[in-house]
Amino acid sequence: MEVQNIQDIENKIIKRRHRPLKEERFVKERQDLIEKLNMIIGINDKNNSVFLYELEKEIVKQKVRENIPLIQKYYKCGSWNYFKNRENASEVGLIKSVYNNSGYIITSKKRVISLDDKKKQCNELYFIKSNK
């Protein structure tokens, strides 16, 4: 009797999830959301970079906050730092997570620019679409 139970356990079929992932279900919607975020942060085909201080403006943050329900619907984002740690979370981190999950590579470079006739060192972020 016990030998038969062990064989049944070994031969047991492992159940697989047949439901498609959000990545597969929401391809068009994700693309539309990325285009909307591109318009918000000001990147396009010709200009794929933005300064970090521009992303930290309140107008950009508010527009990103308005799209949080769409982000939660189209992405598996429960483990993202923005949703795990709400007190210290930044919308810049949320933007980076969305782009990373959508197949973009984000690199940064320190640049010296002049703001208000003063030279400042700022981070410039580059959003590069990977071919995966």
Express each pLDDT in 50-67 by its tens digit.
Answer: 999 899 999 999 999 999
Residue-wise pLDDT tens digits, 97-122: 999 999 999 999 999 888 788 898 99
Q: What is the DSSP letter of 131?
A: -
Q: Is 54 exposed, middle or buried (0-12, 13-18, 19+ CB in 10 A)?
A: middle
Model pLDDT, residue 21: 84
d(CA 18, CA 9): 22
pTM: 0.80
Q: Which residues pair with 51 in a beta bridge?
A: 124
